[in-house]
Structure 1
Amino acid sequence: MFLKDIAQKIVNLMMEVIDYRNINIMDCDGFIIASGEPNRISTYHKGADDVIKSGKGIEIYPQNVNNFPGSKQGVNLPINIEGKVIGVVGIYGHPDEVRMVARLVKNSVELALEQYLISEQVNLVKDLSNQMIRKLLFNSVSETEEEILCLSKVARINLELKRCAVVIKLDNYDDDGIYESVNAMGEIEKLLSTNNFITNKDFFGIINHYFIIFKSIADDKRCEYMNNILFTLEDNRPYKIKIGLGSSYNDIYGYKKSFNEAVDIISISKGKPLDINNFDTQAKYLLQKIQPDASEPFIKKLYISILNENGKVPEWFYKTLDALFENNLRLNETAIALFVHKNTLVYRLKKIEQLTGLNINNFYHATLLYCLYTYINNIESDI
């Protein structure tokens, strides 16, 4: 019974407010479950029992105390939650003196219990959402579909609504910083909820270092939404995060697809939010999907050809490719990003062609250079 869980906390807090005049809270059987007089807990209170049965408050005057075993003088009022009497609150003292105080305490107790119920319901929905997300993402949906649909009904989530996965990855925490990561995720949840980035049409969960929102959003609002999240989180605290948006789907099998897309594009992010609906992102995503066992025989040869005498990729080589692909092979923008003269960049491109045999002006050669670039990223992430 939830009343028993917090009754003593309420008594302790309320007694401080009313100058430590004793308060009792009784259950539906008329037994005291919380009191400023601990020796009375678990004892029968006739006045409370009568309140439960009648649904009305009872005032016990000094001359009538003997008619109410286990009771003392005071005012006893029903605790009403959602139209039901779930218990009784009693205030010690002459009824003429404590009548108004008793009403204030009753209202305060009911408000506290309502807030507690809301909090518990929110926590329940969060737990159900987390369970459902895990089953959607990490189980065979065809095998657990009935269970997923059951969870969605209890949590009041319509899984047929068109949604995409918004994945926020904390990038500055590893497995050793799990507690700091959990705290940061809690702060991120508050910021996103407070700033209305999560609505009642969405549901979310926290899995490892990923904060996942399954969101219903119009295509033309996706970019603005991502950038606003990034601005809000970095403005409140310098989180090192990456954000990815997967495609929107409107069936139970689409959630896993959208999540996997978002996670994959996060892995190629340079810190800027990426949207799978963007053509550049789609191209990078598809190139990333090339199976290593198919590409490695070719790309590894290229990789070996560029290593210097120390067996390392020259820094200028990696930074040149990085700037080229970040600026869509536009030479002027690339030179500016590298802080070099355009002629210096042209010289570097000729050097790259000498080392690899690949000309950046040839579409297919540029594709192979991008594969080489991602290969370097994967095996030499400390560059």
Structure 2
Amino acid sequence: MIISQEIAQTIVNHLMSIIKRNVNIMDCDGIIIASGEKARIHTFHQGGKFAVSQQTVIEISPNETMNFAGALPGVMWPIELKGKIVGVVGVTGEPQEVRSTARLVKTVTELILERDMLLSDYSSENRLKEQLISLLFSVDLETVQEDIQTLAEMLNFKLEIPRIVILVDIETPSPKGFVGLQNLMFDRVRESVIRAIKNSHIFSQDDLVLFYKRYFCILRTVSEKQNAKFFLKNLVDLFHSLPLQIRVGVGGDAQNQWQLRQSYLEAIFSIEYKCLHIIRNIKQHQIMLDFVMSPDNKNYSSCLALLELSNKVANLQPKYDIYNTLSCLLTNNLNISATSSELFIHRNTLKFRLEKLEQFTGLSPCHSFADSVLCKLILEIQAHS
């Protein structure tokens, strides 16, 4: 890490306001890049050069200054980050008087630089994540596929893993009349939230989390071993422990990178859905129906949640003749007697089939208007497949 003159001077000013002594920061060549004595900036300090080359603390007493070009009495400590010397910090004064102070100054300097480096790395990584997500959520993935591959490799993001898009909206306190303070508070909350999610036991190394546009965006891996309800419950508990008021929007399962945009659109619709529930999931039948029937949705069969539901119904077809059963039930306006008569089966047999339908899909067309419409749409999907 190369210490910038700007951050070095900021550190010097901060430390001098506390210890009331002059502080110098030098680069690895012994050039003073920041000082409380402005005239010394950009001058050579031989003591700083020795501290780097000998990798040790250098103390210069008043009667030794003539042996060190550009030096005044004081103590100089090498600045170390990740096991490497990146510069030198010195405190002016009699060595026996400033020895402990200089050591403290070294420690504080390293902590500030380490934090600055982490923030820089975080900012850089977050920009890469934003670029990747923007491309994955774009309309035409074909034209940006090379860029997606490059960014995914840089972030170690596995494109082939099935994922689900989860959006989280939070409410932060709003100090009246202090817009700038509110923005600072939100920035701190945002960093804390992302850190808390990443450090949580519910977050895996293949998941991705960032603040995207106006929501916290989580690309959660989907597998049989990972229970979505368990994850969402723990996610809500995590936010409540911070504590924050939240809304959660959940999209459908994207089996590959090509479906992530659709999952994102479903998550957007869900989180903006007008209801009192904290978690709004596109797999909830009323939300799903309103999504596929919305004016902006030109192709209902592209809804991932509806396709998943359709596949579950398809699995029941060989054993329960479910397509014919539903078609006849809807034609007869959900009348059990008329349907069983037309199918030449007993009423109990029809009820048994409908119980299996509800057990494996959650659909109950005789008891929910939304479910009956979804069954109609599923039959249309099956007819065109």
TM-score range, shorter chain: 0.5 to 0.7
- Measured in 2, the distance between the counterparts of 1:2 and 1:159 equals 37
Aligned to 1:152: 152
Q: Provide the rounded CA distance (Å) in 2 between the counterparts of 1:182 and 1:271.
A: 29
Q: 1:70 is paired with a residue of what secondary structure?
A: coil
The aligned runs of 1:358-377 (5 Å cut-off) are none
Cα offsets for 1:55-109 (capped at 9, x unmatched): 3332222222112121111122211212222111112122233333322322222
- The aligned counterpart of 1:124 is 124
The corresponding residue for 2:227 is 221
> Are 1:187 and 2:172 counterparts?
no
Cα drift, residue 364 of structure 1: 8.9
CA contact (8 A) 2:167 2:217 kept: yes
- 2:56 corresponds to which letter in structure 1? K
Match of 2:111 in 1: 111
Change (3 A) 1:130 1:2: farther
Aligned mates of 2:64, 2:294 — CA distance in 1: 83
Instruction: Give the partner amino acid of 2:217.
Output: I
Unaligned runs of 5+ in 1: 173-177, 295-328, 330-359, 372-383
Q: What CA distance in whole angstroms lies between the structure 1 residues aligned with 2:189 and 2:137?
A: 24
The residue that corresponds to 1:211 in the other structure is: 216
* Partner in structure 1 of residue 164 of structure 2: 164
Q: How has the CA–CA distance of structure 1 residues 191 and 82 changed in structure 2, closer, same or farther, with 3 Å as cutoff?
A: closer
Contact 2:15 2:105 in 1 (8 A): yes
- Indicate the percent of aligned positions where both proteins have the same amino acid: 27
Q: Which one-letter code corresponds to 1:194 in the other structure?
A: A
Structure 1 pair 151/182, CA: closer, same or farther in 2 (3 Å)?
farther
Aligned length: 300
- 1:130-164 CA-to-partner distances (Å, cap 9, x unmatched) read 11111111253222222222223333433334321
* Contact 2:167 2:218 (C-alpha < 8 Å) held by counterparts: yes
Deviation (angstroms), 1:222: 2.1
- How big is the shift at 1:231? 6.1
Equivalent residue letter for 1:216: T
User: What's the counterpart of residue 244 of structure 1?
Assistant: 250
Q: 1:157 to 1:181 in 2, by over 3 A?
A: farther
**Equivalent runs, 1:1-383 vs 2, <5 Å:** 1-17=2-18, 19-138=19-138, 140-169=140-169, 184=186, 187=189, 190-191=192-193, 193-194=195-196, 196=200, 200-216=205-221, 221-230=227-236, 239=245, 241=247, 243-249=249-255, 251-272=256-277, 273-278=279-284, 281-288=287-294
For 1:42 and 1:244, locate their aligned partners in 2 and report how far apart those are by CA, in whole Å.
56
Tell me by how many angstroms 1:128 deviates.
1.2
Residue number in structure 1 paired with 2:383: none
Residues 206 and 14 of structure 1: is their aligned pair in 2 closer, same or farther, counting only changes over 3 Å? same
**Residues 47 and 293 (structure 1), Cα distance of their counterparts in 2 relative to 1, 3 Å cut:** closer
Q: What is the Cα deviation at residue 43 of structure 1?
A: 1.6
364 and 72 in structure 1: CA distance in 2 versus 1, 3 angstrom threshold: closer
Separation (CA, whole Å) in 1 of partners of 2:299 and 2:122: 47
SS of 1:107's equivalent in the other structure is: helix
SS at match of 2:20: coil
Normalised to the residue count of structure 2, the TM-score between the two structures is 0.64
1:291 Cα deviation after fit: 6.1
Decide which moves more: 146-155 or 31-40: 146-155
Query: Quick check: 276-285 or 83-92, which moved more?
Result: 276-285
How far, CA to CA, are the matches of 1:51 and 1:189 in structure 2? 37
Out of 283-292 and 53-62, give the one that drifted further.
283-292
1-side partners of 2:195 and 2:289: how far apart? 33
User: C-alpha displacement at 1:367, in angstroms?
Assistant: 6.4
Shift of 1:165: 0.4
Are the equivalent residues in 2 in contact too, given 1:223–1:275 (CA < 8 A)?
no
The offset of 1:2, in angstroms, is 3.8
Comparing 25-34 and 153-162, the one that deviates more: 153-162
Name the amino acid aligned to 1:15: M
Taking the aligned partners of 2:91 and 2:183, their CA distance within structure 1 comes to 46
Contact 1:28 1:49 (C-alpha < 8 Å) held by counterparts: yes
Taking structure 1 as the reference length, what is the TM-score of the superposition? 0.64
Q: Contact 2:74/2:95 (CA < 8 Å) preserved in 1?
A: yes
**1:292 to 1:32, Cα distance in 2 relative to 1, 3 A:** closer
